[in-house]
């Protein structure tokens, strides 16, 4: 005759299962986060490779960040992401798997009352990464930046201008800010957005992918500053930490060089 489990035995089993679940769930969560972080770095590495292929095919010059263009007789906006698409297999590599507020670039152009993004294959509509706007620069002329004369004083950059490619950011976990907010952004600031605890991932001009550490940017009362990104989703403001040419800034923007005293400076 089979003996049934007693209530005490069942409760012990349930307690053991609950304890094991409490132990294992955080481990699984950490493993998932680590896998997503690795995937994000891999995607940025692919973006870096496509950037290097573009530069090799275009006389050592980097692409323009964004500019007016035309498709089927209608105006549209071309970005560096679209011009680099021939070197990529999918626009999905532009979306970080841990980004909870992926920038809807189409909605952002509507907010700015700009034409829609130019079609590409595959189409670029959502993005988690942004370029170093002094490396992948606006070009000269650029009538999106200066509607009157197009003059910007910022021609396309050449790879030979980059003295420290391993220390020069190319693309990173970042977004496009709208003017204002408690962080007092200016339009088209590109603030870093750490999506892996306190780490913002980046690919550098030499093609290697490596994160930078960040810390919250706080006001005098200890409240984190922030604002809105281009599609009106809220964002928080962070500062790069841990040394390096971008330390203390909100963005991985600028081409590093050594000042007369040997310290890092940006241009």
Give the residue among 110, 183, 154 at the shortest CA–CA distance from 253.
154
Domain boundaries along the sequence of the chain: 7-266
Q: What is the pLDDT of residue 77?
A: 93
Say which residues have a Cβ less than 8 Å from residue 146's Cβ, sequence separation at least 6: 152
Whether the pTM exceeds 0.85: the reply is yes
Averaged in consecutive runs of 10 residues, what is the pLDDT profile of the chain (267 residues)? Answer: 66 74 57 72 95 96 94 93 88 92 95 90 90 96 91 94 97 97 94 96 96 97 97 97 94 96 94
**Residue pair 73/95 in contact by the 8 Å Cβ criterion:** no
Answer for the pair 265, 259: CB distance below 8 angstroms, yes or no.
yes
At 25 the pLDDT is 54
Structural tokens at position 184: 């007092």
Torsion of CA 92, 95, 100, 101, to 10 degrees: -110
The structure tokens 């698409």 sit at 85
CA torsion 117-118-124-127 (nearest 10°) is: -30
Residue 11 backbone dihedrals phi, psi, to 5 degrees: -65, -35
How confident is the model at residue 38, as a pLDDT?
85
The two three-digit tokens of residue 234, written as one number: 């809220």
The two structure tokens encoding residue 168: 């020069």
Size of the chain, expressed as the number of residues it contains: 267
Task: Give pLDDT, residue 30.
Answer: 53
Taking the C-alpha atoms of residue 176 and residue 106, their distance in angstroms, rounded to an integer, is 13
- What pLDDT is recorded for position 28? 45
């Amino acid at each position: 005759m089979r003996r049934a489990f007693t209530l005490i035995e069942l409760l012990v089993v349930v307690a053991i299962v609950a304890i094991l679940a409490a132990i294992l769930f955080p481990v699984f969560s950490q493993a998932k986060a680590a896998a997503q972080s690795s995937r994000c770095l891999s995607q940025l590495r692919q973006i870096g490779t496509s950037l290097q292929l573009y530069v090799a095919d275009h006389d050592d010059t980097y692409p323009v960040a964004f500019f007016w263009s035309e498709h089927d007789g209608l105006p549209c906006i071309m970005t560096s992401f679209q011009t680099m698409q021939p070197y990529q297999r999918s626009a999905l590599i532009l979306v970080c798997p841990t980004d909870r507020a992926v920038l809807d670039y189409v909605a952002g152009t509507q907010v700015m009352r700009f034409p829609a993004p130019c079609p590409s294959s595959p189409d670029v509509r959502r993005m988690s990464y942004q370029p170093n706007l002094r490396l992948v620069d606006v070009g000269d002329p650029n009538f999106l930046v200066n509607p009157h004369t197009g003059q910007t004083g910022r021609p396309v950059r050449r790879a030979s201008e980059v003295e420290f490619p391993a220390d020069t950011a190319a693309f990173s976990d970042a977004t496009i800010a709208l003017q204002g907010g408690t962080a007092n952004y200016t339009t088209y600031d590109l603030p870093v957005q750490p999506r892996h605890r306190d780490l913002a991932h980046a690919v550098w001009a030499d093609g290697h992918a490596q994160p930078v550490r960040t810390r919250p940017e706080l006001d005098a009362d200890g409240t984190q500053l922030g604002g809105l990104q281009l599609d009106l989703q809220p964002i928080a403001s962070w500062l790069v930490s841990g040394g390096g040419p971008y330390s203390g800034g909100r963005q991985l923007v600028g081409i590093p060089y050594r000042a007369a005293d040997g310290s890092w400076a940006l241009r």
